[in-house]
Amino acid sequence: MILKNASKVMSVILASVFVFSSVSITSVGAQEESNNTNHAYNVAEELVDENLMKSNHNLTRLYSKETSLDTIIYSNSDGTETVYMFDEPVKYTDAAGNVVDKSNILYEVKDDPCNGGISAYANKFNNIRTYFPETLTTDNGVTLVANGETLEMTPNNSFQSKSSRRNNTVIYSNAFGNNTSLQYSPELNGFKEELVLDAYSGNQFSYTLETNGLIPVIDGQSVKLLTKTDEEFAVINPIFVYDSSDDPNITLNNKYELRYITDDKYELTTVIDDSFLLSETTIYPVVVDPTVTVYASGSGTAKTIIDTPIYNGSAVSGQTAGVNPTSVLGYVDSAYGSGRLLIRFPGLANQTFWNYNYTIVDASVTFREVSGLYDTSSIGVYEYTGESWNEYSTYSASRWNGYGTFQTSQSFSYPNQIVGTFNITNMAKIWQSSPERFNRGLMFKNLDSETNISKRKIFYTTEGSIKPYITVTYNTRTVEPSALKPTGGNISRNVTLKMEGALTTSSEWLPILNNSRDAWNNSPAGTSISYTTSGSSPYTIKVESMPSEVTWLGQYSWATAPEGHALQSWITINATTLSDASNNARQSTVVHEMGHMLWLKDNPTTSDPTLMRYDRDRENTIRPQAFDVFHVLYHYS
């Protein structure tokens, strides 16, 4: 949903974005870093906030390290590297086989054979070509050519609309008669259509879709575009209509109608709430806002970034909103109630730095705010702790109230604070070693008011025309001397622990000890820890009630061989001091003590998450972190 003050922006728009997938590649060949002749255009200049690039001290574009089409990587003046990750391809493979950056710049083309010999404006640096004709008619519409597919969209009317051009936008006045206009501009993966109603012009607007075999199907408030094999290729999102009031009035009572003409031709009609258009409180211009989106980098969990707005209004609490191009943070109306945003970043797991050999120096996520409201509002970020979700999830109390630890916030107001970068370094460091928290993600919510309409803020989502992106600065991890004990660790990572005492093997404690062992064995640290109850071993583990010992939770002690390793060792877990602790906190203690057996030292000097710090979050630090794994591997290398 886009709800912005039309009188405060350069143009009032219908943001109907047609996005089509490009051919994907898995790697980029080595290229000259500082002077790459294949890159006539640097897409980072368009997509990345200039102030953010300056604060990251970006120096040189590292084309050879960009192993996917959705990332941009820079070296920095301090020796670190920064990756900018998007939820759409920002590069493509040209006819010569070179991977080059995409560009939205329009050029004039004459008699282009790809456009049926018709003169037009078109983008040049893209494998997804869009053509905007000099004159828009029922026989000559906007054409998209991509991957051997062609789609044409034309308004159904008797008018001929001559084009004008403003920067990178092609404008067709009176496209649906007087007091209407259509405005088009290319996008990296398609094109955007903008419709403006300067006065009441009826409530139905129809287009002819030349689909080239794609099949449109109405699905609730949306229209899905399916391939001949019933795969979801695109979705036309629900229609949202808003006016030019300072706090825009909106209507949700809109629908699509679809009429079959032939196998390759359909009539699509947007039907707008007539009572809204005729209301005395509606301020023109009015914007009608559907969006068409194809998942350019996959769908579902294959997406690089996944997000979904959730709304608590009784009229829409059962509706999915993950296909919406915007998310309202704060109050919407009586039907929608208030909105919050969930987001996670599965694409991070595919990055080269997402392992124990790298340390994350800084991480952030950047959004564009589009409400056009002057009032300042602070948007807060929380770790999400509710039930699982995806882009088809609907409201539930667990999701709505599923915000955990506060992370950071940013203030937004029109017109000077419309781009916000949220620092999520702490969570990124945690996610590197905690897949269950990584898969939950973050929640964004309005900290100022969720009931005052003038305080709401609106973010473009991954389905919008200006998508959020994540930035991570990282460095090669180096050894921290304070992380390793000088003596007392086990000579090998393969160790059998003798279980001693009845409490150790009780139904209360045995599952915790098993989970602790598995946490190490399932990590990349290369350990093989096992237990025995009947055999012998110089290394023991025991859970014991010790009411006289109230100052410690667990303890590791050893007898040292001349070479410094432990001839014998004893792990003792104090059941008394852990009597009221959760199972997670108990496991955190056991895994910590096992870390001593593997040469890890208490309280290392680091800002990275580690299970060896006393002040760690014991509820969530229940397995070896990247910092811990790195140092175990270093010691045994």
Q: What is the pLDDT of residues 257-287, one digit of tens each?
A: 999 999 899 999 999 999 999 999 999 999 8
Whether 375 and 514 share a structural domain: no
Domain end position, chosen among 477, 507, 539:
477
> What is the distance between the alpha carbons of residues 49 and 417, in angstroms, rounded to a whole number?
12
- Mean pLDDT, to the nearest integer, of 144-156? 81
* In a domain? residue 175: no
DSSP 436: H
Asked if residue 428 and residue 341 are part of one domain, the reply reads yes
Residue found by looking up tokens 């870093």 in the block: 33
For the stretch 4-20, pLDDT in tens is 333 333 222 233 334 43
For residues 302 and 437, membership in a common domain is answered with yes
At 483-492, the pLDDT tens digits run 999 999 999 9
Predicted local distance difference test score (pLDDT) of residue 307: 95
* Residues facing residue 85 across a β-bridge: 71, 470
Both tokens of 214, joined, read: 């794609």
Looking at the structure, tell me whether residues 414 and 532 fall in a common domain.
Answer: no
Examine the domain organization and report whether 612 and 630 are in the same domain. yes
Residue-wise pLDDT for 342-359, tens only, equals 999 999 999 999 999 999
Residues 351 and 473 in one domain: yes
pLDDT tens track for 179-218 = 998 888 888 877 888 788 999 999 999 999 999 888 899 8
Q: For the residues 144-154, what does the mean pLDDT come to?
A: 79
Q: Mean pLDDT across the chain, nearest whole number? A: 87
Decide: residue 592, CB within 10 A, 0-12 exposed, 13-18 middle, 19+ buried. buried
Query: Region 398-427: what's the mean pLDDT?
Result: 96
Q: Say what percent of the chain tops pLDDT 90.
A: 60
Using pLDDT thresholds of 50, 70 and 90, give the confidence band for residue 613: very high
Please say if the pLDDT value at position 33 is more than 60.
no
Q: Which of 227, 149, 221 is nearest to 190 (CA)?
A: 149
**Comparing 255 with 343, which gets the higher pLDDT?**
343
Query: Quick one: pLDDT at residue 11?
Result: 28
Percentage of the residues of the chain whose pLDDT score is greater than 70: 90
- Domain containing 320 equals 298-477
Which residue, 454, 477, 500, sits at the end of a domain? 477
User: What is the mean predicted confidence (pLDDT) over 362-391?
Assistant: 94
pTM of the model: 0.83
Is the Cβ–Cβ distance between 365 and 470 less than 8 Å? Answer: yes
Q: What is the pLDDT of residue 23?
A: 29
- Number of other CB atoms surrounding residue 277 within 10 Å: 20
Amino acid letter, residue 556: Y
Answer yes or no: is 568 within a domain.
yes
Q: Strands 81-85 and 71-76, how do they pair?
A: antiparallel
How far, in Å, CA of 365 to CA of 84, rounded?
10
Q: What 8-state DSSP symbol labels residue 237?
A: P
Q: Are residues 486 and 621 in the same domain?
A: yes
Total structural domains in the chain?
2
Bridge partner list, 359: 475
Compute the distance between CA of residue 14 and CA of residue 16 in angstroms, rounded to an integer: 6
Q: Are residues 457 and 535 in the same domain?
A: no
Instruction: CATH number of the domain at 486, please.
Output: 3.40.390.10
Fill in the amino acid letter for 78.
D
- Which whole number is the average pLDDT over 68-85? 94
Give a yes or no: residue 553 inside a domain. Answer: yes
Region 404-423 average pLDDT: 95
Residue 626 lies in a domain: yes
Tokens at residue 148, please? 């051997």
The average pLDDT across 166-178 equals: 90
Within this chain, do residues 324 and 471 fall inside the same structural domain, yes or no?
A: yes
Residue 109: pLDDT band with limits 50, 70, 90: confident
- Cα–Cα distances (Å) from 227 to 93, 269, 290, in that order, read 24, 21, 21
Lowest-pLDDT choice from 130-134, 305-309, 606-610? 130-134
CB of 461 within 8 A of CB of 495?
no
Of 290-294, 310-314, 435-439, the least confident:
290-294
Q: Is there a single domain that holds both residue 488 and residue 375?
A: no
The band of 300, judged by pLDDT with boundaries at 50, 70 and 90, is: very low
Residue with structure tokens 């209407």? 180
Q: Of 461, 456, 193, which Cα lies nearest the Cα of 325?
A: 461
Q: Which of 50-64, 211-225, 274-288, 423-437 has the lowest average pLDDT?
A: 211-225
- 506 assigned to some structural domain: yes
Judge whether 265 and 141 are in contact, CB under 8 Å.
Answer: no
CATH number at residue 422: 2.60.120
Does residue 159 surpass a pLDDT of 80? no
CA 196 to mean position of chain CA atoms: 30
In a domain, 577, yes or no: yes
**What are the strands of the beta sheet with 469-476, ordered from one edge?**
58-61, 71-76, 81-85, 469-476, 358-368, 419-423
Q: What is the pLDDT of residue 480?
A: 97
CB neighbour list of residue 153: distance below 8 Å, 6 or more residues apart? 18, 141, 142, 193, 207, 208, 209, 210
Q: What is the pLDDT of residue 39?
A: 56
Helix (H) or strand (E) holding 458: strand 457-460
In this structure, the answer to whether residues 394 and 378 fall within a common structural domain is: yes
Q: Cis link prior to 481 (omega < 30° from 0)? A: no
User: 546 and 459, same structural domain?
Assistant: no
The per-residue pLDDT for 287 is 85
- Region of residue 319 (phi > 0: left; psi between -120 and 50: alpha; otherwise: beta): beta
Write down which residue in 457, 477, 497 finishes a domain: 477
Bond from prior residue into 524 cis (ω within 30 degrees of 0): no
In a domain, residue 390? The reply is yes
Is 51 inside a domain boundary? no
Q: What is the pLDDT of residues 498-529, one digit of tens each?
A: 999 999 999 999 999 999 999 999 999 999 99
Q: How far apart are CA 409 and CA 403, in angstroms?
A: 14
Q: Supply φ then ψ for residue 45, to 5 degrees.
A: -65, -25
- For 490, other C-beta atoms within 10 Å of its C-beta total 22
Tokens representing 546?
């010790």
